[in-house]
A and B are shown apart, each in its own frame.
Chain A
Amino acid sequence: MNIAWYLVVSAIIFCIGVTGVLVRPNPLVILLCLELMLNAANLALVAFSRMWGNSDGQVFALIVMVVAACEVTVGLGLIVAIYRRRMAVNVDELNELRG
């Protein structure tokens, strides 16, 4: 398959992720949609790495996976902390800094 096909799939997944972040009110699902966007970027990176025959893109993809894992850990910790304080797990209601 041509590299362009992989890029098309990557673009579609990225747009689906953007839609999810904008539409869903639940922070858990928003984190999942962020994962979708990061994975779309990963697919593009690996596709370009294949295009050039150079493995630097794959190293970059692995670093992106590490950063995504960190982001998920901290994000889920925040959600658990919000839940512990008996606040609604909903980004529409969590719009104040005073907590």
Chain B
Amino acid sequence: MSAVLFFIAAIGAITGAVGVVMLRNPFYSVLALVGHLISLAALFLLLRAEFVAAAQVVVYAGAVMVLYVFVVAYVGGADEPLHSPGGALRALAPLFALAVAVELCIALLGTGLTAINSRGAHYVFGFGTPRQIGQEFLTTFLFPFEVASLLLLMSAVGAVVLARRRRGLEGTDEFEDRFAAVPRPAFTGTMAEGAGIRGGAGTTSRPAAQERPLGVSSGDPR
């Protein structure tokens, strides 16, 4: 029974991984990765790592992948060629990957660990449960636990700083201003009219100049 489950989950995980690399649309790559992660969670369950499997599904396949989907939708996941035209090194890339595969095969076959040909240690009740993992985190691994929380905070702040709208860069963008300043006839159903930003008919004032302070004030916590 466990062998059947193992092969189903392993084939699912490898298929998902191949899909991530081979699919041309980044959106489908993300979906393939979700399938891969869920298959991997099944493998974790077979290895009696219940808490890791649950965290994998909830945190990874749930939260992190939603972040990916949003960014792919924002950046625009257009179809792209799998191989970019240029680059002699890129033709060598599969060769390098093959070299890594050979090295890993040598490491696995030449290992001195005899226990990897067994089914693992005797299963003790409570192994890998949230209770045990939590106890480990709050006693033996308290310092890495706190460092991890600090790291999460730093990366969250860093991501906001990196991806925020920079007024200094975008305000001087001539392309945007030129197109926003084209006077459109009134009552033609533009978005600016719908938001009530534009004044009367035939206004030649620049809507972009009015929209920008509005966008800032909407971000105000008040």
Contacts and interface: CB of A to CB of B under 8 A. Distances in A.
A72 B84 contact: no
Contacts of B37: 39
B18 A39 contact: no
Contacts of B201: none
A16 B14 contact: yes
Interface in B103-142: 104-105, 108, 113, 115-124, 127-128, 132-133, 136-137, 140-141
Interface string B154-179: 11101111110110011000000000
A24 to B, nearest CB: 7
A78 B159 CA distance: 8
A33 B20 contact: yes
Residues of B in contact with A, size category = 35 or more
Interface residues of A, number: 71
Interface in B75-119: 75, 77, 80, 82-84, 86-87, 90, 93-94, 96-98, 100-101, 104-105, 108, 113, 115-119
A84 to B, nearest CB: 7
Contact of B115 (A16, A25, A51, A78): A51
Interface of A: 1-9, 11-20, 22-26, 28-29, 31-33, 35-36, 39, 42-43, 46-47, 49-56, 58-59, 61-63, 65-74, 76-81, 83-85, 89-90, 92
Interface of B: 2-3, 6, 10, 13-14, 17-18, 20-21, 26, 29-30, 33, 36-37, 40, 43-44, 46-49, 51-52, 55-56, 59-60, 63-64, 67-68, 71-72, 74-75, 77, 80, 82-84, 86-87, 90, 93-94, 96-98, 100-101, 104-105, 108, 113, 115-124, 127-128, 132-133, 136-137, 140-141, 144, 148, 151-152, 154-156, 158-163, 165-166, 169-170
